[in-house]
C-alpha cells in the first residue's frame, strides 16, 4: 500500500473520529490499517461498545449489520458490502418455508438457533420465536442454552456447524430438505442445508496427506468444516481461537490450518511449519475484494458529505434481531 494512502486514511479517520475494524480474512494491507481485528463475536462486541460513533467496517455484510443492530445510533459504513455466500443461502422467505415444512411433519416445538452468518431479517425471525444467535467462538455454550429449552433445535444456516455441535453432544442430527421425513422426525437437531464454500474445501484426504508427510503435525480447523474433518482435527475453534492456538505452539511444531488463506499466511511468517490444509488456496473471494483504496474512497466521499455503503435497517427488523443477538451476548 502506498504510504500516502495510509496517511490520508489515518487523517480522515482522526478527523471524523471514526473507528476502523477488520475481520481476519481481509487482506494484510487492510488489516494493517485497522484499530483492531477480531472474530465475528469480538468485532460485534467491541465495535458496538466503542465510544466512536462512526464505524468503518471491513468485512462481510452480516458483520456490519450486527454492529448496527447492537448499536443503532452508530453509523456503520463499509468500503465494500461483501457478501457471505453462506448467509445468502437463507432468506426470511426460506426461513418461513422451512418452518412450514417442519410443521407439515408435525414438528411444532422448535427452538431456532442461527449462526451469526445470516441476514438481519433472518435474525429477526429467530428473535421473534425466542431463539438465539451464536458465533463460532461461543457456539457450544449457546447450544447448551438452546438444549435447555427442551425443544427440537433448528440450526441455521450452516449444516456443518450444526452437525458438529450435535456430534459434540452425541445427538442425532438431520438436514432439512436432504434427509427423509423419518430421519428429521428422529433427530434432536435439524440443520438448514447451508454451508461455507471456502471451508468445504478442506478434506479428510488433506489431513491424511499432512499426517503422512509430517509425523507429529497438528491439525487446527474452523467449525464450518465438514464433520468428518472436524472429527480428525486436534483443535477446532473460531478464527481468534485458531490464531491463539497456533501462536501458542513452539516454532518447531508443524501445524496445518483449515481456514481462510489470508489468516493462515499471517500466522507464523517466520516459521516454515505452518501450512494451509488444502492443495488449493482457500480464499473467501468477497472478503478479499476490499482494498486500502476502497477504504480511502469511502472516507473521502464521507468527508465531502456523500455517505456510501451505509448499513441501514428497518427498525422493526433490527429490534427483533437485537433480541436474539442480545441473548447471545448475555450468555457468552
Ligand atoms: P469467525 O467468527 O470465527 O471469525 O468466523 C467468521 C467466518 O465467516 C468464518 O468463515
Ligand atoms: Fe462466509 Fe465462508 Fe466467507 Fe466466512 S469464509 S465470510 S462463512 S463465505
Domain with residue 23: its CATH number is 3.40.50.10800
Same domain (yes/no): 72, 59: yes
Ligand nearest to the CA of 39: 1
Is position 243 within any domain? Answer: yes
Does residue 139 contact residue 161 with C-beta atoms inside 8 Å?
yes
Tens-digit pLDDT string for the chain (332 aa)? 689 999 999 999 999 999 999 999 999 999 999 999 999 999 999 999 999 999 999 999 999 999 999 999 999 999 999 899 999 999 999 999 999 999 999 999 999 999 999 999 999 999 999 999 999 999 999 999 999 999 999 999 999 999 999 999 999 999 999 999 999 999 999 999 999 999 999 999 999 999 999 999 999 999 999 999 999 999 999 999 999 999 999 999 999 999 999 999 999 888 889 999 998 999 999 999 999 999 999 999 999 999 999 999 999 999 999 999 999 999 98
Does residue 242 contact residue 257 with C-beta atoms inside 8 Å?
yes
Is position 175 within any domain? Answer: yes
CB atoms within 10 A of CB 310: 14
Is position 317 within any domain? Answer: no
Is position 330 within any domain? Answer: no
| Residue ranges of E strands in the chain | 18-23, 36-38, 54-58, 75-77, 110-115, 132-134, 152-156, 173-175, 189-191, 218-221, 235-236, 255-258, 274-276
| Distance in Å, CA 291 to ligand 1 centroid | 20
Nearest CA to ligand 1 atom 8: 117
Query: Best substitution site from 260, 282, 289 to test ligand 2's pocket, by max atoms within 8 Å of Cβ?
Result: 260
Same domain (yes/no): 75, 97: no
Query: Best substitution site from 24, 65, 135, 221 to test ligand 1's pocket, by max atoms within 8 Å of Cβ?
Result: 135
Same domain (yes/no): 96, 79: no
Is position 111 within any domain? Answer: yes
Same domain (yes/no): 35, 21: yes
288 in contact with ligand 2, CB cutoff 6 A: no
Domain total in the chain? 3
Domain holding 92, by residue range, is: 87-191
Same domain (yes/no): 126, 163: yes
Query: Best substitution site from 202, 224, 263 to test ligand 2's pocket, by max atoms within 8 Å of Cβ?
Result: 224
Write out the three cell numbers for 261.
Answer: 488463506
Is position 322 within any domain? Answer: no
Q: Which residues contact 250 (CB under 8 A, 6 or more apart)?
A: none
Same domain (yes/no): 146, 233: no
174, with CB counted inside 10 A (0-12, 13-18, 19+), is buried
Among 164, 191, 218, the domain boundary falls at 191
Is position 292 within any domain? Answer: yes
Nearest CA to ligand 2 atom 2: 196
Same domain (yes/no): 177, 242: no
117 in contact with ligand 2, CB cutoff 6 A: yes
Same domain (yes/no): 29, 101: no
Same domain (yes/no): 78, 8: yes
Among 124, 156, 191, the domain boundary falls at 191
Q: What is the pTM of this model?
A: 0.97
| Distance in Å, CA 283 to ligand 2 centroid | 9
| Distance in Å, CA 44 to ligand 1 centroid | 12
The CA-to-CA distance between both ends of the chain, in Å, stands at 37
198 in contact with ligand 2, CB cutoff 6 A: yes
Amino acid at each position: 500500500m502506498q504510504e500516502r494512502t495510509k496517511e490520508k486514511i489515518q487523517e480522515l479517520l482522526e478527523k471524523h473520529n471514526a473507528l476502523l475494524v477488520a475481520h481476519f480474512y481481509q487482506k494484510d494491507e487492510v488489516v494493517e490499517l485497522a484499530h483492531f481485528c477480531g472474530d465475528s463475536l469480538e468485532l460485534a462486541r467491541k465495535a458496538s461498545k466503542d465510544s466512536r460513533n462512526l464505524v468503518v467496517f471491513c468485512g462481510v455484510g452480516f458483520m456490519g449489520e450486527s454492529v448496527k443492530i447492537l448499536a443503532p445510533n452508530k453509523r456503520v459504513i463499509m468500503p465494500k458490502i461483501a457478501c457471505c455466500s453462506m448467509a445468502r443461502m437463507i432468506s426470511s422467505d426460506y426461513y418461513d418455508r422451512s418452518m412450514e415444512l417442519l410443521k407439515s411433519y408435525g414438528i411444532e416445538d422448535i427452538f431456532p438457533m442461527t449462526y451469526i452468518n445470516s441476514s438481519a431479517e433472518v435474525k429477526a425471525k429467530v428473535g421473534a420465536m425466542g431463539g438465539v444467535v451464536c458465533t463460532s467462538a461461543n457456539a457450544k455454550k449457546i447450544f447448551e442454552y438452546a438444549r435447555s429449552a427442551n425443544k427440537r433445535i433448528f440450526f441455521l444456516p450452516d449444516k456443518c456447524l450444526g452437525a458438529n455441535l450435535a456430534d459434540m453432544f452425541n445427538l442425532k442430527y438431520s438436514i432439512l430438505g436432504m434427509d427423509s421425513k423419518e430421519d428429521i422426525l428422529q433427530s434432536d437437531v435439524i440443520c438448514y442445508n447451508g454451508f461455507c464454500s471456502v471451508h468445504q474445501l478442506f478434506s479428510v484426504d488433506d489431513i491424511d496427506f499432512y499426517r503422512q508427510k509430517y509425523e507429529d503435525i497438528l491439525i487446527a480447523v474452523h467449525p464450518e468444516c465438514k464433520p468428518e474433518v472436524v472429527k480428525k482435527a486436534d483443535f477446532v475453534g473460531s478464527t481468534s481461537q485458531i490464531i491463539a492456538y497456533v501462536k501458542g505452539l513452539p516454532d518447531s511444531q508443524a501445524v496445518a490450518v483449515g481456514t481462510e488463506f489470508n489468516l493462515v499466511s499471517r500466522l507464523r511468517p517466520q516459521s516454515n511449519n505452518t501450512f494451509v490444509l488444502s492443495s488449493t488456496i482457500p480464499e473467501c473471494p468477497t472478503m478479499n475484494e476490499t482494498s486500502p483504496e476502497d477504504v480511502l474512497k469511502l472516507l473521502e466521499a464521507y468527508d465531502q458529505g456523500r455517505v456510501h455503503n451505509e448499513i441501514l435497517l428497518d427498525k422493526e427488523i433490527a429490534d427483533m434481531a437485537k433480541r436474539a443477538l442480545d441473548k447471545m451476548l448475555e450468555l457468552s
